[in-house]
Structure 1
Amino acid sequence: MGSRLEESSSQDFGGVVVRPVPTHVVGVSPVFTDPLWRVSVRLNPAEVDLLRTEPLRRLHFVAHGGASTLSTLQSYSRLEHTLGVFALVAHFLPDDELLRVAALLHDIGHLPMSHTLEGVSGLDHHAIGLQLLRTDHVLPVLEKHGFSAEAVTAALAPQPPSPLTNRSGLLNLDHLDSYVRSGRAAGRLGVDPVVMLGRLGLTEAAVSADRETAASLVDLICAEARLHTSWDNVGPVSAVRRLACRLLDNTNLAPERLARMADAQLWSAFDSCTATRRESAMIRYELHRLRVVTGHAPSGGRPGWDFSLRKIYSSAPLVEGRRIDRSAPELAAELGRLKALPTAFHVWWS
């Protein structure tokens, strides 16, 4: 693989070859270094080729934080998160080539603005991602390197649990990166991620930590849940979802086409539709006018719209290899209190 990469950049026409930085995201050098975890991964040929496919490149133009990027500084992309998860898998399981490939592909089905539009017109990013594995963008690359769509699908399945996709209420590597990356963006990361990573392990296909590090993770998990139920998330997310539904109702745009847009394309579509143009501008430039209260409005009540959060994430790390409710009940109690957070809201423009 190394020789192929070197050959591709050797036509310097007498000049000095300009090299990429270690954090590049297009596979033009044999090593990728994740800037959050500061893990360096030597890319294999399959990973290089996948990084150059349209579904993965598109994630560079989809905000991980969705519409909350309008109100916060969580402006990093879904690709940045994907590569963070990939780096974690490569760190803990460097020889599991299938799981490394699955980590790169686990989020390719995300809609524009990530989770913001999940469920609109029945769109589901998990189902879309599995479909994309069998398209001309991805399948030939997988087969070229000896992988099958079926094998990647199995690696992404919730059962049997894996460190990548464990959905049994235990912390997996996907959510670990989300919590820590969001914490860094919000300025609430009190532990150097490199130090944290050195204190983590995998047990029962889940992230395990010492007591102190588990407490730091629980703080991040709780802070993320509070962000999701705050004005910063509920207001813009509910408004953008409303616009997307209106866009589909007033144009010939098919939900399947909307699902494959990047964020900028979605804003362009909003601006091109008379039914969404005005509010599209309001969301971007007059967001301070949004008002949010808990609870749905009674029928015939105040103007605006009701909104419900689909879920609040609260997956827990193991503590010293044991379930958190047994090993650190006070931390389990903190996570348990997240169930009291509101999930029903009413939103309107002032």
Structure 2
Amino acid sequence: MIYVFTNPTSIHEPFYQTNIHPYPWEYELLQTRTLRRLKFLSHYGVGSLVTAAKHSRFEHTIGVWTIIATLFSKDEELRIAALLHDIGHLPFSHAVERTLGFNHHKLTEERIRGEEISSILLKYGFSPEKIIQLLGIDTPLSHKTNYLSADHLDSFLRDAYMLGKLRVHPSEVLKNISFSHHYVQTDIDTGRRIMEAIHADHLSFLAPINLALDALLAKAISIFAEASNEEVSSIQSLTNNELLQVLINSSHPQVNEIMEVILWYPEKLCFYEEEVEGATKVEVKKIYDKSPLVDGTPLVSICAESNERLAKVRSLKKAHYFTY
């Protein structure tokens, strides 16, 4: 799959195998360093180091934009919001953000207001504040319900596909979905495949080893920042590799020990169901218990198999303990 776009009037999206005709401002946004920085941020967090899910935030962004541009082709502002919705992410995404208290939504707003992005929007008559407003309300791009948005749909499909767990090609899913108001709607068979992807994705990114690696990376950053008298906020503009180099080159022995485990010897991690002396606790507090709609009805309410999968996803909300 090649993510190099040289034609300003037609972009082939390789994941969904479809062509999108970008507006001039979209093509210009795709040339910005702000957006291209996402090529160097893993969508799967530290789990990208131990799984086959090595795709970037950029690929995910193009996928979300493709879904919106395909199904809401005339909604120019929503298409812009889809392109910009993740530009505030930190290296290794949610794990670092949650643990260290960053809010990537706020950082996204700051970058939309920044010169590189806002100058393009204003040049074509768009309000940066209107795009920010769109990112903060319920839309087909993103919303706070138990139904699927374009953002979550692409995440689940892309993760599951890269993990080898998607039993239908993403291009077939795109052909078989529509939106009911803000929510993804499809047929029962496609919906079942989507629920399989949601379940498989959760089993992977909430696996104890991925939770532990996320926690260790956040710990290494905290120790490094305190020991070097640097503000933790200094990492917010870095890429994955830049952050790893900063930590690898640290002179702090505990940071060195943690990075050795993360990068070279994750097999040293030991996991426990119950608390043991010296163990670190990692707790799953959030899951994405989403369901597509079928004829306006949540799939999980009419398909026993999908409802069972959702119950299994919810059962992952628990604590794990590890040592290293």
Percentage identity across aligned positions? 27
Structure 1 residues 150, 294: closer, same or farther in 2, change over 3 A?
Answer: farther
Alignment RMSD (CA, Å): 1.8
Q: Specify the alignment match of 1:174 in structure 2.
A: 151
1:139 Cα deviation after fit: 1.1
1:223 Cα deviation after fit: 1.1
Deviations 1:159-199 (A, max 9, x none): 3x211012211101111111111111111111122222221
Structure 1 unmatched runs, 5+: 1-21
2:284–2:316 CA contact under 8 A, matched in 1: no
Q: Specify the alignment match of 2:177 in structure 1.
A: 200
Q: Specify the alignment match of 2:245 in structure 1.
A: 268
Q: Specify the alignment match of 1:35 in structure 2.
A: 14
Instruction: State the TM-score, normalized to the length of structure 2.
Output: 0.93
1:26–1:52 CA contact under 8 A, matched in 2: no
Q: Distance in 1 between matches of 2:318 and 2:86?
A: 25
Instruction: State the TM-score, normalized to the length of structure 1.
Output: 0.87
Structure 1 residues 231, 325: closer, same or farther in 2, change over 3 A?
Answer: closer
Q: Specify the alignment match of 1:59 in structure 2.
A: 38
Matched ranges for 1:278-317 at <5 A: 278-295=257-274, 297=275, 301-317=276-292
- Structure 1 counterpart of 2:229, from 230, 252, 269: 252
Structure 1 residues 154, 67: closer, same or farther in 2, change over 3 A?
Answer: same
Q: Specify the alignment match of 1:211 in structure 2.
A: 188
- Structure 1 counterpart of 2:109, from 130, 142, 157: 130
Q: Secondary structure at the match of 1:98?
A: helix
Q: Distance in 1 between matches of 2:34 and 2:4?
A: 13
Q: Secondary structure at the match of 1:137?
A: helix
1:111–1:260 CA contact under 8 A, matched in 2: yes
2:289–2:314 CA contact under 8 A, matched in 1: no
- Structure 2 counterpart of 1:75, from 49, 54, 66: 54
1:146 Cα deviation after fit: 1.2
1:171–1:206 CA contact under 8 A, matched in 2: yes
Structure 1 residues 333, 104: closer, same or farther in 2, change over 3 A?
Answer: same
Q: Specify the alignment match of 2:319 in structure 1.
A: 344
2:222–2:232 CA contact under 8 A, matched in 1: no
1:220 Cα deviation after fit: 0.8
Q: Distance in 1 between matches of 2:10 and 2:179?
A: 24
1:332 Cα deviation after fit: 2.7
Q: Distance in 1 between matches of 2:20 and 2:2?
A: 10
How many residue pairs get aligned? The number is 322
